[in-house]
């Protein structure tokens, strides 16, 4: 538990016992980022980078400078794991291994004892090296990049054509729900107020690293699409909300944004790079917006949707990194010269994050996948000596697909309700215990629940315990599943309920 925070009697802008160096760092961060509540999280992360975490005296100083209630500042500090408030251990951001499902599954194989901290998947399930060999600004420009931005600035009527292309191309969101992109854009345009564009690069889903791969390879592809979106919907501000653990990408994106701004292509539009607070829930769009406003990352009921009332009540367009990137494939053909269309931009291409017991885990781009088992071939085959046990598809609240069904037609599985979600695919073998896997998935959801609503807070905790120790019978689990699915505020609790229903109904051995 954190100690109680008290305002000192002699507090007068500088707390008693305050560390002069920390106060200096806070003040210079505020000068750089602006003296506004919006930058609260970013200032705290800045101090964490330099000193391990912000201190109590630092929080008091921040509250004074931002004219906020101390309790509010304390609440923000304690709701983001990445702020590391009150911890005596340093917060490791980039790490090759964590304590979550994939790393735990492979621990006996890799014999890795390196844990960033228990739990919370770090999106490193492919153990990939973090090169910064992505396409830089000059290369992207030389290949025709940003010419669409220039054309749009000269011929504003082209935006109607882009909207038509998006509708005709049936572009859908890639964050997991496959919501039509065109509908979001139209709704943002129809709403009153100055719109905002947000690139959601939080990528907190279990065993998912596709957005990291896209940003590592072609950051300007994403920024170009975000700028086009801003021009089409009339936004003057763009946020890139980046997963805090992706430290190397912070540098890559900082440079990419600086290059775009320096070139004049942003045309006065503000492009802000912000880091998330180290929790899965930070990627839920209303929680993300709360985080950008300097509040704790708590989702809110919808409607109103962010497209109508988002960042500071302005119409806000939030898309996943992959969604933005792929839009270039849709309008690319209509604008010349264009950056060569890569495989990823082909409409039938699906991007999976494949991890677990395969020889070559990593991002895999596939066209017309016949079966889920075929994904294993894309990943170099199953590890030596292993026999396929099945694949967890779609993240922490995803589906545990048996080996037999992995060989069934994927089209049939999709038709019968399988959801691919973010495209995360964790391969396990015959000896891996699916009960243990389900319990780890439930553990992730329980740990990452923001705790705001009881169906999710209590439900995910009970579910995780019951799937570990069998403490509830199927009737009680069924009730829990219905309560979570129907009464939770956001998608985390609702999808946790649906996950539990699948576990109960596809695991006959659980039935008593």
Ligand X SMILES: Cc1cc2nc3c(=O)[nH]c(=O)nc-3n(C[C@H](O)[C@H](O)[C@H](O)COP(=O)(O)O)c2cc1C
Q: How far is the CB of 404 from ligand SF4 (least distance, A)?
A: 33
Please state whether the peptide bond connecting residue 174 to the residue before it is cis, i.e. omega within 30 degrees of 0. no
User: Which segment (105-113, 163-171, 282-290, 468-476) binds ligand X by CB under 6 A?
Assistant: 282-290
Residues 263-282 that bind ligand SF4 (CB under 6 A): 281
Q: Measured at the alpha carbon of residue 495, what is the angle toward residues 493 and 497, in degrees to the nearest 5?
A: 70
449 part of the interface to ligand SF4, by CB under 6 A: yes
Alpha helices by DSSP H, listed for 204-344, are 210-217, 219-233, 247-263, 285-292, 321-332
Q: Among 4, 75, 53, which residue's Cα sits nearest to residue 294? A: 75
Q: Which residues share a beta bridge with 239?
A: 198, 272
Q: How many CB atoms lie within 10 A of CB 346?
A: 13
Task: Confirm if 65 and 30 have CB atoms less than 8 A apart.
Answer: yes
Which one of ligand SF4, ligand X, none is in contact with 323 (Cβ closer than 5 to 8 A by kind)? ligand X
Which one of ligand SF4, ligand X, none is in contact with 456 (Cβ closer than 5 to 8 A by kind)? ligand SF4
120 part of the interface to ligand SF4, by CB under 6 A: no
Measured distance CA(230)–CA(224) in Å, rounded: 10
Q: Among 356, 418, 425, 419, which residue's Cα sits nearest to residue 393? A: 425
81 part of the interface to ligand SF4, by CB under 6 A: no
Instruction: Indicate the residue among 203 and 224 with the shorter CB distance to ligand X.
Output: 203
Which one of ligand X, ligand SF4, none is in contact with 450 (Cβ closer than 5 to 8 A by kind)? ligand SF4
Q: How far is the CB of 171 from ligand X (least distance, A)?
A: 9
Judged by CB under 6 A, how many residues of this single chain contact ligand SF4?
Answer: 14
398 part of the interface to ligand X, by CB under 6 A: no
Instruction: Indicate the residue among 351 and 405 with the shorter CB distance to ligand X.
Output: 351
Residue 201, H or E segment? strand 196-201
Q: How far is the CB of 195 from ligand SF4 (least distance, A)?
A: 25
490 part of the interface to ligand X, by CB under 6 A: yes
Task: Confirm if 204 and 282 have CB atoms less than 8 A apart.
Answer: yes
User: Which segment (78-86, 173-181, 451-459, 463-471) binds ligand X by CB under 6 A?
Assistant: 173-181
Q: How far is the CB of 448 from ligand X (least distance, A)?
A: 7
Residue 140: half-sphere exposure toward Cβ, Cα within 13 Å: 23
Specify burial of residue 245 (Cβ count, 10 A radius: 0-12, 13-18, 19+).
buried
351 part of the interface to ligand SF4, by CB under 6 A: no
Measured distance CA(315)–CA(196) in Å, rounded: 6
Residues 294-313 that bind ligand SF4 (CB under 6 A): 299
Q: Where do contacts with ligand X occur on this chain (CB under 6 A)?
A: 173-175, 177, 179, 200, 202-205, 280-281, 283-285, 318-320, 323, 490-492
Q: Where do contacts with ligand SF4 occur on this chain (CB under 6 A)?
A: 281, 299, 449-453, 456-457, 488-490, 492-493
């Amino acid at each position: 538990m954190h100690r109680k925070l008290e305002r000192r009697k002699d507090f007068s802008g500088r707390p008693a016992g305050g560390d002069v160096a920390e106060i200096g760092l806070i003040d210079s961060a505020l000068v750089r980022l602006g003296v506004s509540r919006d930058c609260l999280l970013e200032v705290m992360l800045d101090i964490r980078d330099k000193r391990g975490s912000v201190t109590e005296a630092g929080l008091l100083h921040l509250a004074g400078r931002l004219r906020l209630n101390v309790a509010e500042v304390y609440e923000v500090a304690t709701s983001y794991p990445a702020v590391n408030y009150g911890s005596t251990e340093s917060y490791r951001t980039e790490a090759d291994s964590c304590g979550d499902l994939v790393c735990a599954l492979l621990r006996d194989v890799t014999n890795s004892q390196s844990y960033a901290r228990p739990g919370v998947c770090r999106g490193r399930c492919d153990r990939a090296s973090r090169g910064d060999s992505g396409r830089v600004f000059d290369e992207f420009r030389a290949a025709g990049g940003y010419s669409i931005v220039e054309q749009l600035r000269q011929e504003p009527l082209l935006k109607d054509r882009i909207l038509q292309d998006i509708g005709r191309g049936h572009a859908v969101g890639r964050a997991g729900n496959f919501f039509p992109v065109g509908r979001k854009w139209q709704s943002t345009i129809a709403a009153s107020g100055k719109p905002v564009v947000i690139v959601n690069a939080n990528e907190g889903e279990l065993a998912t690293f596709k957005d990291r791969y896209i940003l590592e390879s072609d950051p300007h592809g994403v920024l170009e699409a975000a700028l086009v979106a801003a021009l089409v919907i009339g936004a003057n501000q763009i946020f890139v909300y980046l997963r805090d653990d992706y430290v190397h990408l912070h540098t890559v994106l900082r440079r990419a944004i600086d290059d775009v701004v320096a070139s004049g292509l942003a045309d006065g539009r503000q492009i802000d790079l912000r880091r998330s607070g180290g929790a899965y829930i930070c990627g839920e769009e209303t929680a993300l917006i709360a985080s950008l406003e300097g509040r704790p990352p708590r989702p809110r009921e919808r409607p109103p949707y962010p497209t109508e009332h988002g960042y500071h009540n302005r119409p806000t367009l939030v898309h996943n990194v992959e969604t933005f990137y792929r839009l270039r494939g849709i309008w690319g053909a209509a604008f010349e010269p264009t950056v060569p269309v890569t495989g990823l931009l082909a409409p039938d291409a699906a991007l999976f994050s494949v991890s677990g017991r395969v020889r070559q885990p990593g991002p895999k781009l596939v066209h017309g996948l016949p079966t889920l088992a075929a994904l294993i071939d894309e990943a170099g085959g199953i590890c030596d000596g292993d026999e396929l046990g099945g694949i967890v598809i779609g993240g922490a609240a995803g589906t545990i697909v048996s080996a037999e069904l992995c060989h069934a037609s994927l089209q049939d599985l999709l038709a019968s309700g399988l959801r691919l979600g973010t495209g995360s695919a964790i391969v396990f073998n015959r000896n891996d215990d699916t009960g243990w896997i389900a319990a780890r998935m439930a553990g992730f959801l329980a740990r990452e629940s923001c705790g705001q609503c009881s169906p999710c807070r209590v439900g995910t905790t009970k579910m995780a315990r019951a799937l570990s120790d069998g403490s509830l019978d199927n009737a009680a689990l069924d009730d829990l599943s219905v309560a979570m699915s129907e009464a939770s505020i956001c998608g985390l609790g609702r999808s946790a309920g649906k996950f539990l229903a699948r576990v109960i109904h596809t695991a006959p051995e659980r039935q008593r």
